[in-house]
Structure 1
Amino acid sequence: MLLAPGDVTRRRRKPLVLGAAALVLALGAAWATVGTTTVLGSTGAGDDDGRLLFSEACAQPVNLGQHDACVGEVQRLLARVGADIGVDSEFGPQTLRRVTAFQVLSGISPNGVVGEETKKALYEPKVRMTTWTPDKVRKRVREVFSEEPDHAVAIADCQSFLDPLHILPNTNGTRNWGLFQISDARLRELGGTPRKALDPEWNIQAAYRLWKSAKDFGDWPYCDRAYQNSPSASPSPSPSPSPSPSSRASATG
């Protein structure tokens, strides 16, 4: 059968139109696949790179009283930079002290809460939290407080358990810092900063200045009374020195 010229043209165009439509559908499917992969990749980035604190599970700030894997991750990261801390997933007073000390050393506002800035600093640390051992602290305190070495060591032990990074928050919002727990008010008088107060040498020297100005340990009344009421405060008939007393409160978390 002979076809008119117009019929031939229409017959030739039909496969072309169908081929173009198939190509559009194929490209659309490919684009949808790429788009889906991109979205999933960005959503799961926190999990994929192993940073638990940036995952959906730990999206909120980590803070005091919390007990979960997010706290355990904070503790693990603190231990990695040298902090003396247990990894029990319990955000108690000890974890609060270590988080606050890490923030001070890292130049972050020390609020004791693990927010975005602190999370990033924990994964990309620029500081170490290793510090003096109790034996080194005792030795240096005795050297500086040569007039009353036993008394001074007992005060520091009572105040901070000889922990240079010890930080104690007060009910009025102020804090005490370091070995001799120097208060915010005293810190300003002495021209110090929280970062300086966590330096054991600076803290010991600052405490000595306070003691020397009055020749007593009146800045630490509770611990001073505990020492005065202890057997070691009285002269001992034994030629060997008595061990320094320790008045300790329990520290958990």
Structure 2
Amino acid sequence: MEPESIGDVENHTQDDSGSIISGPRKRSTSKTSSAKNIRNSSNISPASMIFRNLLILEDDLRRQAHEQKILKWQFTLFLASMAGVGAFTFYELYFTTDYVKGFHRVILQFTLSFISITVVLFHISGQYRRTIVIPRRFFTSTNKGIRQFNVKLVKVQSTWDEKYTDSVRFVSRSIAYCNIYCLKKFLWLKDDNTIVKFWKSVTIQSQPRIGAVDVKLVLNPRAFSAEIREGWEIYRDEFWAREGARRRKQAHELRPKSE
């Protein structure tokens, strides 16, 4: 039986004849909890709520920018490899000193035709625009969309030390993942193996940096005062500092203990 109200809950028991006997009502703590949650939410200042929404927007745009960057580089390398193979095939067919004939010539002609058709279809189908043109214009199109909110998405220029550290972390993490895969796939080592534990600790130690390290949202100076813009920068830095500390603590807890 459903209670008649949210605040009051009625206890029901059954006697030997099966009839329901109503017991004493007990006051639920849901109203107290709801009032406490409302009181806690009302303590949040409007500026903090705006900064929190900006932080969510910035993180989502950061994810999109990363995806578009990977997409652009993948298909740029694809087109570059196709162009290289096509140029080599064209040179072998028409510019080499030794005349190519027989099955070798058929293979080269088929390869050149296949590459030409693939590149033409790649452009006609719109994949070139979706994978190359649109990712290149990501910041321009994004800033046009968020201009009405008086914010702008900009790239963060990293120093040479930060770029070097990021490269070392990326290489170390890639090598560690590759070694873990080989050790478990071909040598059938378990997770509790000492070597596997070592490489897992390497992956934990070489995690990438988090926060506004690649892109960030900047408030428009014409619409926001210097105090608000400084408060937004401080709010973001403090949030990512706490988040980084939390992730390091979590990684330390997940780190395999030496036996």
Q: Give the TM-score band, short-chain normalised.
A: under 0.3
Higher percent of residues as strand = 2
TM-score (norm 2): 0.20
Larger radius of gyration: 1
Structure scoring higher RCO (CA < 8 A, sep ≥ 6) equals 2
Higher percent of residues as helix = 2
